[in-house]
């Protein structure tokens, strides 16, 4: 299909996968991230998934720039999924895990996550952390 805007230099959106079995959690992440996490980064395209299989399929398909994982998801929690993705995906995108308590951040480190944030979601901090992970990944200094 021909480009409807020849010569347009619109940046390719950054693909962010959000994993949670809870629709409300996915919505909170979507609202906090918005359409652009920082002015110096391209817009984001969110892909919401609710199951372990959908998450693995989305990451295996490639082209994912960041994965946000709900540490409280069931039956497969975000911490275990982070560990699985880091172990099984050759060029794993950066992983941000949402944990129940800040004291659980050590579990995120164990899981191989690149960052962790505690609930309740902070709509200012979440895009800041996501932007930092995306910048590092785009610069080739990420995971």
pLDDT, tens only, 32-90? 999 999 999 999 999 999 999 999 999 999 999 999 999 999 999 999 999 999 999 98
- The CATH class of the 14-138 domain is alpha beta
Can you tell me the distance from the alpha carbon of 84 to that of 53, in angstroms, rounded to the nearest whole number? 12
pLDDT for residue 3: 46
Is the separation of the CB atoms in 65 and 17 below 8 Å? no
Is the separation of the CB atoms in 133 and 115 below 8 Å? yes
Flag the least confident range among 3-17, 50-64, 90-104. 3-17
pLDDT for residue 7: 55
pLDDT for residue 114: 96
Q: Which residues lie below 8 Å from residue 81, measured CB to CB, with a gap of 6+?
A: 19, 52, 55, 69, 73
The pTM (predicted TM-score) of the whole model is 0.90
Mean predicted confidence (pLDDT) in 20-35: 97
pLDDT for residue 108: 85
């Amino acid at each position: 299909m021909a480009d409807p805007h020849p010569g347009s230099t619109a940046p390719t959106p950054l693909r962010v996968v959000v994993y949670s079995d809870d629709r409300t959690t996915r919505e909170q992440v979507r609202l906090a991230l918005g359409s652009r996490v920082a002015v110096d980064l391209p817009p984001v395209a969110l892909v919401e998934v609710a199951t372990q299989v959908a998450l693995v399929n989305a990451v295996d398909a490639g082209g994912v720039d960041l994965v946000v994982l709900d540490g409280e998801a069931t039956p497969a929690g975000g911490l275990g999924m982070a560990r699985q993705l880091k172990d099984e995906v050759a060029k794993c995108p950066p992983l941000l895990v949402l944990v129940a308590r800040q004291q659980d951040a050590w579990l995120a480190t164990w899981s191989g996550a690149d960052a962790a944030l505690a609930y309740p979601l902070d709509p200012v901090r979440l895009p800041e952390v996501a932007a930092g992970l995306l910048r590092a990944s785009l610069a080739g200094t990420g995971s």
